[in-house]
Amino acid sequence: MERRRSVECLLMVCLVLGVIVEDCRADATSFKQCYGICFITCVLTSANTTFGCAAECLKDCILTPPPIHTLMDTHNFCKLGCATSLCTHFSTKHDPAAEKVEGCVNSCSETCIKG
C-alpha cells in the first residue's frame, strides 16, 4: 500500500512538472525560465545524459511551434544548430546554468541574423 502511494506521489510530481514545462513553452516566458525548468525536469525524470537534456531543452525552448511556417523557421533552425554545438556544455546535473546558456543562445541568434 505504501509503495502504491509513493508511485502515485511520483506520478503527481511528474504531472505537475509536465504542466509547468508545457506552460513555459506555451507562454511568452523567457528562454532562461524555459530552459532552466526543462533541464531540471529532464535530469530528474529521465535517463538522458546532461548533454541529451541540454540538447532536448534547447530544441524545446528555441523551436516553439509557430502558427505558420515563416522565414523565422530558418533563423530558429540556425540558432538551434549553433546552440547545440556551442551551448550544451555549460549545464551540469547540479546547475542548468540557464543564464550562461541564454547568453550563448543570444549570441547564436546574432550570428544567424548576420549569416
Average pLDDT, 10 consecutive residues per value, the chain (115 residues): 56 47 55 94 92 94 70 82 94 94 94 83
Residue 11 pLDDT: 45
pTM above 0.75, yes or no: no
How confident is the model at residue 70, as a pLDDT?
A: 64
pLDDT value, residue 63: 84
What is the count of structural domains for the chain?
Answer: 1
The three grid cell numbers given for residue 48, joined into one nine-digit string: 538522458
Cell of 42: 529532464
H helices, E strands: number in the chain: 5, 0
Instruction: Check residue 114 and give its pLDDT.
Output: 82
* 65 φ, ψ (degrees, to nearest 5): -65, 115
Which range of residues forms the domain containing residue 62? 2-114
C-alpha–C-alpha distance, residues 94 and 46, integer Å: 15
Count CB atoms within 10 A of the CB of residue 90: 18
What pLDDT sits at residue 69? Answer: 59
Residues 71 and 93: their CA atoms lie apart, in Å, by 35
The pLDDT score that the predictor gives to residue 24 is 47
